[in-house]
Each structure stands twice: as C-alpha cells, then as structure tokens.
Structure 1
Amino acid sequence: MKKIILGIVFTLIICSLIIPYNHLQQPTEKDVLHLTKNWSESVEEVYFIKEIDERWLTIFRTSQSTSVAELKQNWFGTWILSDGNTLSSTYYPPLEDDQITWSASGKSKENISYYFGEVIDPEIVKITVETQKGIFENVPFIESAGQRFFLKREEGSIFLPVNICGFSNSGELIYSSVKKIPFK
C-alpha cells in the first residue's frame, strides 16, 4: 500500500512540475511539424510562428498550399492547432503571372473572417481588403524567410465579393482581385 501511495505522490509531483513548465514554452517549428505529421501532404517549410494580438499564429507550406493556422495549448501545455484545422490557405506554387495569391475563410462559431494571402510582386507595399461591409485598410504584412504574407482578421461573416487590392509606394493600384472594383 505504501508503494502505491508513494507512486501516486511521485506522479503528482512530476505532473505538477511538467505541466507548468510546458505552459511556459513557446511553440516551435518542431511543434508545427509534429502537429501536421499525419496529414496526407506533409509540411515542407514553416515560414513563421509568432504571437499576434494574443494569438499564436503559424504560416507553413505543403507541396500544394500555403496555410495560416492558430496554435493554442491544451491542458497539458502541449501545442495544438486551434479547432484542429487551418484558418485559411492559398495554392502553392504561385503561377508565373501572379502578383498575389489569397483566400478568405471564416470561423462560424466565433463569427470571425480571415483574409490571407501571399504577396509575390515586390512593388506591392500596401494591401486593402474591400467587401460590401467596408474597406479594411490596415492590413498588416508578415515577412519571413524572404516571403511576404498578409492576414486580416475581422469580426463577422465573410461578405462576398471580396476585392483584394495591392498598391505601390506612390499609391498606384497595381493589383485588384476583381477586374472592375464593385464597391466604388
């Protein structure tokens, strides 16, 4: 009986040390690769892992897509993909004439929309996302490993059509995902 009680006490002590230690760890590329190892397409490159607006985000690439996902810790402090899935993804590799690749997706439970893409044209220095809901001008760039991405998170559902616009330093419209800008 003493051995069982000592075993339980020892296990509780170890758990009380390991779990807080795990919760102090930031996510790594190794965590992302481990989370996606059983996917039908393996992750070939992890571009980015960073905390933005109190959420840990990662951008990674498979042979056919570039994706953004949110990472969170479970009760044990192990990193997992939020909702077990990516937030949004776009095709890879970009086509020869592509200036931007992009996608829009949403989380219906949280009523949140994500506008994500890769900016290929080096002349594009500003991105706006235009929907029937409005124009979102403060779309942040994420630069990593020589790649440039944008990610805009907005409250509410996705309103279609979506027009992603890319502008030069001088403010010239270089790229529009919609041939005729429908909201002006």
Structure 2
Amino acid sequence: MKNYFVWLLLLLPLLATGCYGEEEKEDGPGDYIWDFINYNIYFSVKDAAGANLLDPQVSSNLLANEFTVEYEGKTFPLENSVDTRFNMPRSLGLRKELLGKEKKRVLSFGEFSPEHQYKGETFTIHWGDGTKDVVKFDLYITWKKQDPTIHKKLYLNGKEYSEDSFLIEIVK
C-alpha cells in the first residue's frame, strides 16, 4: 500500500500538468521556430531598345558610373559580389548579381528580413550620371492562427510599382 501511495504522489504532478489543454493563439509564431528568407531589391537597367546597360558587352553600358545607395543616413557604394552556392545572410550592401536561370545582370540592394517589419522604408539609388530614383518598400509579416503571411510592396518615385516582385526595371 505504501508503495502505491509513493507512486501516486510521483505521478500526480505529471498527470495534473498533462490535463491542461493548449490554448489557440491568434497572433505570433506560437511554439514553432520560423525561418524566413531574406529579400534583396533588384534593379534591371535597360535602354529604350531593351539592351541591358549592366552588361559589359553592351557598348553603351553604365558600368563606368559610380552607383551608390543612400539609406538611413549611410552611403553604400557598389561592392564586388562573389557568386557562390553557399546561401548565408549577407550584410546590407549594393552589389552586381546574376539573376535567375538566364543569368540576367542586375544590381541588388539588401538583404532585408521580413522579421524586422519594414513599413515605408525609403532609400535612394544614384546612377552616377546625375539621375536618381527613390524606392520605398514594405516587407513585414502578419500572423493568423500561427500561420505567417509575408507582405511586400514596392514604390518607385512615389508610385506603386509591384506587390509580388522585388525586381525594378529602369529604362534609361
């Protein structure tokens, strides 16, 4: 009898904690660990005929220009990027990239994580020829019953540009 009483005392706290139901949470990640992809904002620059002005083989390319981005009071010059299959986060910067299967030459500025809840973030890209473009973007997460939805929106020079793609096509 004494042995049963000891076992009952040991199991009682375990049984008591197992009886509580889990409450449905409306907002937030809940008990899961979520990993979200970081986003870059890409720029494709073409002339009126459709030639890629970031391609060194195009005679009228803009690669001699000094491209910079102004963001949060800092100036980011164009960096050389290393093309690797290793997918790790990179620090904020302006880079030349090859995008997609067709290896389209573009500029990218980022990386931005949706976890930082970017709303109305603005930066200016200077093209090195006296012209500039102002980009505003939203990149944030909302939660409904522990399911995340990533919202993204781009504005170019004060006009809504895209809700699905972070690629901006500039014609010079």
TM-score under structure 2 length normalisation: 0.28
TM-score under structure 1 length normalisation: 0.27
Which has the greater radius of gyration?
A: 2
Higher helix share: 1
